[in-house]
């Protein structure tokens, strides 16, 4: 079943001004319930504008966003309901923490949703656990947390809304490699348990390759590709012409293919490359 369907979707900033800019240009696509989509594109390619249209934060200039088959703008007064179903973690979400305690911050969404006190408590603790936020931290002020903890507390606040679709805009931006790995693993295990739909916006190809079922590539507001990571990363030259850097191992394997080595295309990880090399050596009787 399609959870999201987008039809001829466009967004123009500054209509009728000298700064008029078409940020999203006539996109049509559908996303199935439970899919993990990696959204990549150069800065300014329209990623943020696109995802903000998915949860009704901005209204399309033209075209439609259907959520479970219904146009989200059919009843504009009910647009808030869409934001409960489509949760968004913004870039640097830790700047949105504002309450006295981490607990109060995470409970803000469920409380707004009208849940009872015991349900709120259960939801907050479950969300905190998903992002490995220790119970002891819940009573602290968000400002006393470390950078990584703040980020996880902010993500817990969105997870606590239990959204059917979770959009994460550059969730690992500014984290060190270890923090990045931990956060990605948490997102993967959250998805395994909840089986909800996830859209991960990133300019790290490595991150999206690890997590996505399909990768969506935007360039100048247009949808250039929407396919499996392997199919997308087999188009190295096109990606590079859009200013996107493919994983280094993908690049190396592509260069070797060009030199006549019989490797598969779209290799994404060192592990896959290793297997390819071992197989090739076996074929040539060298191992
Ligand atoms: P990305 O998330 O891929 O970096 P954005 O959706 O933020 O891309 O931006 C797409 C285009 O729209 C860019 O050219 C950007 O400069 C322009 N843009 C984004 N926000 C605004 C705004 N509030 N006003 C005018 N132009 C904007």
- pLDDT value for 64: 98
Residues 266, 225, single domain; the answer is no
Establish if 287 belongs to a structural domain.
yes
**Cβ contacts of 158 within 8 Å, gap of 6 or more:** 87, 88, 89, 93, 109, 166
User: Whose Cα sits closest to atom 22 in ligand 1?
Assistant: 13
* Residue 171 within any structural domain of the chain: yes
Residue 240 in domain: no
Helix, strand or coil, per DSSP, at residue 159: helix
| Nearest CA owner, ligand 1 atom 6 | 46
How far, in Å, from the CA of 46 to the mean position of ligand 1?
Answer: 6
In this structure, are 228 and 280 located in the same domain?
no
Average pLDDT over residues 137-160: 92
**One domain, residues 121 and 217:** yes
Considering the domain architecture, whether residues 159 and 264 belong to the same structural domain is answered as no
Positive or negative, the CA dihedral 241, 25, 47, 231 is: negative
44 and 172 co-located in one domain: yes
Q: Are residues 177 and 65 in the same domain?
A: yes
**C-alpha 176 – ligand 1 centre gap (Å):** 26
From the CA of 48, give the closest atom in ligand 1.
2
202 in the same domain as 83: yes
Ligand 1 atom closest to Cα of 169?
2
Whether 32 and 59 share a structural domain: yes
Both 208 and 273 in one domain: the answer is no
> Which residues does 169 contact at the CB level (< 8 Å), separation at least 6?
47, 48, 51, 88, 89, 90, 91, 201
Domain for residue 17, yes or no?
yes
Nearest CA to ligand 1 atom 12: 23
- Alpha-carbon distance of 105 to 242, in angstroms, equals 39
Q: Evaluate if residue 94 carries a pLDDT over 90.
A: no
Percent of the chain with pLDDT over 70: 99
Ligand 1 pocket, mutate which of 21, 48, 51, 58 (most atoms under 8 A from CB): 21
C-alpha 59/C-alpha 51 separation (Å) is 11
For the record, the structure tokens of 140 come out as 């602290």
- Residue 255 domain-assigned (yes or no): yes
Averaged over 160-182, what is the pLDDT?
90
* 137: in domain: yes
Task: Judge whether residue 287 has pLDDT over 70.
Answer: no
Measuring from atom 13 of ligand 1, which residue has the nearest CA? 44
pTM: 0.92
Q: Of 215, 235, 255, which residue constitutes the final position of a domain?
A: 235
Whole-number pLDDT of residue 286: 66
pLDDT in tens, 177-205: 888 888 889 999 999 999 999 999 997 88
In a domain, 242, yes or no: no
Residue 42 pLDDT grade (very low, low, confident, very high; cuts 50, 70, 90): very high
Which ligand 1 atom is nearest residue 19's CA?
25
Residue 144's domain spans which residues?
A: 2-235
Q: Whose CA is nearest to atom 24 of ligand 1?
A: 13
Distance CA 41, CA 47 (A): 7
The answer to whether the CB of 21 is under 6 A from ligand 1 is: yes
The β-bridge partners of 169 are 201
How many A from CA of 57 to the centre of ligand 1? 14
Mutate-to-test residue for ligand 1 from 44, 52, 57, 243, highest number of ligand atoms within 8 A of CB: 44
* Same domain for 183 and 122: yes
Give the CATH number of the domain where residue 139 resides: 3.40.50.300
pLDDT tens-digit series, residues 3-34: 999 999 999 999 999 999 999 999 999 999 99
Residue 143 lies in a domain: yes
Atom of ligand 1 nearest to the CA of 49: 6
Q: Are residues 9 and 75 in the same domain?
A: yes
- How many independent structural domains does the chain possess? 2
209 with 271, same domain? Answer: no
């Amino acid at each position: 079943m399609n959870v999201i369907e987008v039809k001829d979707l466009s967004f123009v900033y500054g209509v009728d001004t000298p700064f008029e800019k078409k940020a999203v240009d006539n996109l049509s696509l559908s996303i199935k319930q439970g899919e993990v989509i990696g959204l990549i594109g150069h800065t300014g390619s329209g990623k943020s504008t696109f995802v903000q249209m998915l949860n009704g934060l901005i209204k399309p200039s033209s075209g439609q966003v259907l959520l479970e088959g219904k146009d989200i703008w059919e009843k504009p007064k009910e647009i808030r309901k869409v934001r409960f179903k489509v949760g968004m973690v913004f870039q640097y979400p830790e700047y949105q923490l504002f309450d006295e305690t981490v607990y109060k911050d995470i409970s803000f969404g469920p409380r707004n949703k009208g849940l009872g006190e015991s349900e709120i408590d259960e939801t907050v603790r479950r969300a905190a656990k998903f992002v490995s936020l220790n119970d002891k931290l819940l009573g602290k002020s968000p400002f006393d947390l470390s950078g990584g903890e703040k980020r996880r507390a902010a993500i817990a606040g969105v997870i606590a809304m239990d959204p059917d679709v979770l959009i994460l805009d550059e969730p690992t931006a500014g984290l060190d490699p270890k923090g990045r790995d931990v956060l990605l693993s948490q997102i993967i295990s959250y998805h395994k348990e909840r089986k909800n739909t996830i859209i991960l916006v990133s300019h790290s190809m490595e991150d999206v390759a690890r997590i996505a079922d399909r990768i969506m590539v935007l360039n100048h507001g247009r949808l250039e590709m929407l396919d499996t990571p392997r199919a997308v990363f087999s188009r190295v030259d096109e990606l590079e012409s859009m200013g996107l850097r493919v994983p280094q191992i993908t690049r190396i394997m592509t260069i070797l293919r060009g030199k006549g080595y019989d490797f598969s295309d779209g290799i994404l990880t060192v592990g896959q490359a290793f297997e390819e090399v071992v197989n090739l050596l076996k074929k040539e009787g060298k191992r």
